[in-house]
Amino acid sequence: MSSITTFARLEPQPRRGDITVGAAAPLRDPMWLLTRQWQVGEFAGHDGGSPILARWRGVVAAPTRFTAGPIPPDTMLEAAPFDAAAAPLESIIERVTSPLPSSAESADGIRLAVDTGRHFLAMLAQQATSRDYRADFIARYALAMPGDDQLAALDPATAAFARLHADRSVDGRLLRAELSGRDVPRLDTQIAPGDVAEIRQAAAPWLDWLATLFDVAEPDGQCWQPTRFEYTASLAGRRSADPFGETTLTAPRYDRDTIDWYEFDVNGEVNLGTKASEAGDLFTRTLVPAPVTSPGLPAARFWEFEDGRLNIAAIQPASTDLAQVLLVETLSGYGNDWFVIGVELPVGRLVESRSLVVTDTFGVRTLVVPAGAGTSGRWGLFRHAMPVDDDEAEGVPISNLLFLTPRVAQPLIGPVVEQITLTRDEQANVGWAIEQVVESPMQVGLTLSDARPPDPPGDPDVAPDYRLAHEPPPHWVPLLPIRRGPGEQTVLARGSVLDVTGGQHVVGSVTSLLAGASLLIPEEEVPDDGLVVQRHYQAARWIDGTLHVWAANRTRPAGQLPSAALRFDTLTDGGSAG
């Protein structure tokens, strides 16, 4: 039976606006204060003391193996070595193709070609040569003027840039190809013998600068899955030297802006080949616990004003909002009982707590076990999961493991350079991959037109003609459902459309997001509300001061979906499309 003489909380209700008397808190009778202490139960004896010292011991293991893409279950392989401190994890996982041009035969990368060539001339100008070789390099490796047909196919900005720099600027693509087989580029004029070493001193750092200009994934080592429009990667670290000490973490469906520990699941079905010599180190830290503070917590002293940014008494949670009710109860009733210790650890490590011993003001040492240890719960907060069944997305919680992800706080994200929209057309029973933005040779996004050509005016003297079908808008790639084999999953493949002559032609792609002659997209990857896939350039400064620039893909819900407005079996109205 609850007591009527003790209270868990006393809240005064002021009856006037003047707070002078209440703020002064005058005390004329010491017995009044003793009575209040008795009412709130402060005279009840207990042995609890405040923590004054905490000794934490744990294993900190660096991930030493990394592999891109999905891994089949029950796989043992020798993955490539991995250094978590070399670059941001977003760059390692998200980077795709290189924007650096590899050939000067097309206009692709023309702006980078001019910029890199200009940078070489600037590096050459810092060398003490006997004469100026700027004109000689421009004459030998000048940007060539594109042909008339090629200029007509370019967008106006790229065509104007090509006309401006043709025969006036060094083409970095040509110079890079020249230096791939020799250390000193050839010129049409003779290089003075005393200047060969200086030109070599400019060419070698220029090639090194090009190699570090962009973070690029290997062609067979990309984490981006083009048919599922998401990233998949796995990394492994060894927490102990025993045969079962390896821990593999897999990010199966990463498609967000920033990556963190909750994107990774423990993968117990693969082994990436870590060695016993790569086992983690044992860390021990002795620290002083500090009380947890946040707006709304009760003040520790009577003459101390509480933070007014959060009024707990004004919170009105719904009857089904259990999390908010528990938060209010924790802050108001047990807010002074929480303590925190800050353990400084290297970034990009797998952390396992071995022990936490807390010493209180009475000298009593208490061993604190990890939360969730010894329980059989199916869910846990701030815990990695290990999927054991395809039907159980949450998996089994791993209670004593945390991956300190080597991520950036806020990368610099550039504008969209490519964009496609995946949608379903239920009336036509077909899916669409709509190319809306394509990257130009200037590394900017160009909006693609989806407007059909206008219908010709009708002629009343011409009899109506039958038309089998109308072409879809430009850059709309049809996706038709097929089944590759008995019992196989249904996928969406690139289809063909009817043209005005009654024949069929396959719709090609102009964006790198839909590169390749064939598309085999799993049907579940095209939701009913559509999906937008975008490509950006991103930049971030890492902990060692290096600059990392990479191209990354992102997905988001489509929202409002366009319509192809397909029409079949129509009659022309006097020679025009009806």
Q: What is the pLDDT of residues 400-419, one digit of tens each?
A: 899 999 988 888 999 999 99
Structure tokens, 250: 């897999």
- Across the range 347-360, mean pLDDT stands at 92
Rg, Å, the chain Cα set: 34
pLDDT at 138 over 90: yes
What is the band of 492 on the pLDDT scale with cuts at 50, 70, 90? confident
Q: What is the largest CA-CA distance in the chain?
A: 111
Most confident of 45-49, 448-452, 515-519, 542-546: 542-546
- Across the range 251-255, mean pLDDT stands at 88
Least Cα distance to 416 among 520, 268, 552, 563 occurs for 552
pLDDT of residue 416: 94
- Across the range 90-104, mean pLDDT stands at 82
DSSP state of 73: S
Least confident segment among 142-156, 345-359, 560-574: 560-574
pLDDT of residue 578: 45
Most confident of 294-308, 477-491, 522-536: 522-536
pLDDT at 509 over 50: yes
pLDDT at 16 over 90: no
Least Cα distance to 513 among 554, 560, 557 occurs for 554
pLDDT at 379 over 80: no
- 183 burial (CB, 10 Å; 0-12 / 13-18 / 19+) is exposed
Structure tokens, 288: 């002083």
pLDDT at 101 over 90: no
pLDDT of residue 9: 67
Q: Which is more confident, 305 or 29? A: 29
- Asked whether the beta carbons of 258 and 408 are under 8 A apart, the reply is yes
pLDDT of residue 29: 82
- Across the range 109-114, mean pLDDT stands at 91
pLDDT at 246 over 50: yes
- 236 by DSSP, 3-state: which? strand
pLDDT in tens, 527-552: 888 899 999 999 999 988 999 999 99
pLDDT of residue 99: 79
Phi, psi of 193 (to 5 degrees): -55, -30
Q: For residue 116, which amino acid is it?
A: T
pLDDT of residue 387: 82
Region of 313 (left: φ > 0; alpha: ψ -120 to 50; beta: rest) is alpha
pLDDT of residue 64: 94
pLDDT at 469 over 90: no
0.95 cut: is pTM over it?
A: no
pLDDT at 484 over 80: no
What is the band of 233 on the pLDDT scale with cuts at 50, 70, 90? very high
pLDDT at 360 over 50: yes
Least Cα distance to 280 among 414, 152, 403 occurs for 403
pLDDT of residue 558: 85
Rounded Cα distance between 353 and 343, Å, is 11
Phi, psi of 135 (to 5 degrees): -65, -35
pLDDT in tens, 154-196: 899 999 999 999 999 999 999 999 998 888 999 988 999 999 9
- Across the range 27-50, mean pLDDT stands at 78
Contacts of 144 (CB under 8 A, 6+ apart): 104, 166, 167, 171
Least confident segment among 55-69, 312-326, 545-559: 312-326
